[in-house]
Chains A and B, each alone.
Chain A
Amino acid sequence: DGGITQSPKYLFRKEGQNVTLSCEQNLNHDAMYWYRQDPGQGLRLIYYSQIVNDFQKGDIAEGYSVSREKKESFPLTVTSAQKNPTAFYLCASSIRGNNSPLHFGNGTRLTVT
């Protein structure tokens, strides 16, 4: 089955540690996105990538970093500089074309204590 996989589903870390969230897709999509969702809120864009080896900052990129070395993979690192890292993180992908739907993974819930 084609799809977008985020792992792990739940992640716990101590404050001050960097943590990397995995996002893999086998849909052959060019574009990939990372969003963050806080309780009762909509999604906010962290980073997105329209093509391999290229990515752009979203609205809340501070304290996060990404890489796009392969078309299938777009890992997100939450660094110790991110002041409020506890959140639900969602990855998505889409084909080229501005009306192509985004396909979302089922998210990673990160808790930092």
Chain B
Amino acid sequence: DAKTTQPNSMESNEEEPVHLPCNHSTISGTDYIHWYRQLPSQGPEYVIHGLTSNVNNRMASLAIAEDRKSSTLILHRATLRDAAVYYCILRDAGSGNTPLVFGKGTRLSVIA
């Protein structure tokens, strides 16, 4: 599986934007970039995914570099409820229902 690299932890002030980086230099042409987050003592929840173009949804935006070797998850206004571990995961689109492979993610702390 292609691997991703994320910082172990990040901190943000409440109501400010947060940019969570992810490096995936060995990404293949059929790998989608998926983001999940896990709140304390809960299961992960899907945030967003994309292939080449930037993506927006109600939770976040995903900015993908032109060479696809890195991406950034953007939370436009961090709230205390956004404090969680954020996982950046590559998933091959061509292989059926392949399971997600989780790394350690980035632990985001939000300061009031």
Chain A interfacial positions (CB closer than 8 Å to B): 30-31, 33, 35, 40-45, 48, 50, 58, 90-92, 94, 96-107
Complex CA distance for A44 and B102, rounded to whole angstroms: 7
Interface residues of chain B: helix, strand, loop or mixed (majority):
loop
**Would you call A48 and B99 a contact (CB within 8 A)?**
yes
**B32, B36, B92, B99: most-surrounded residue (chain A CB, <10 A):** B99
**Would you call B103 and A42 a contact (CB within 8 A)?**
yes
Complex CA distance for A107 and B42, rounded to whole angstroms: 7
B residues near A99, Cβ cutoff 8 Å: 32, 34, 49, 91, 93
* B77 adjacent to chain A (CB < 8 Å): no
**Would you call A98 and B94 a contact (CB within 8 A)?**
yes
Looking at the assembled complex, report how far the CB atom of A32 sits from the nearest CB atom of chain B, in whole angstroms: 10
**Would you call A42 and B94 a contact (CB within 8 A)?**
no
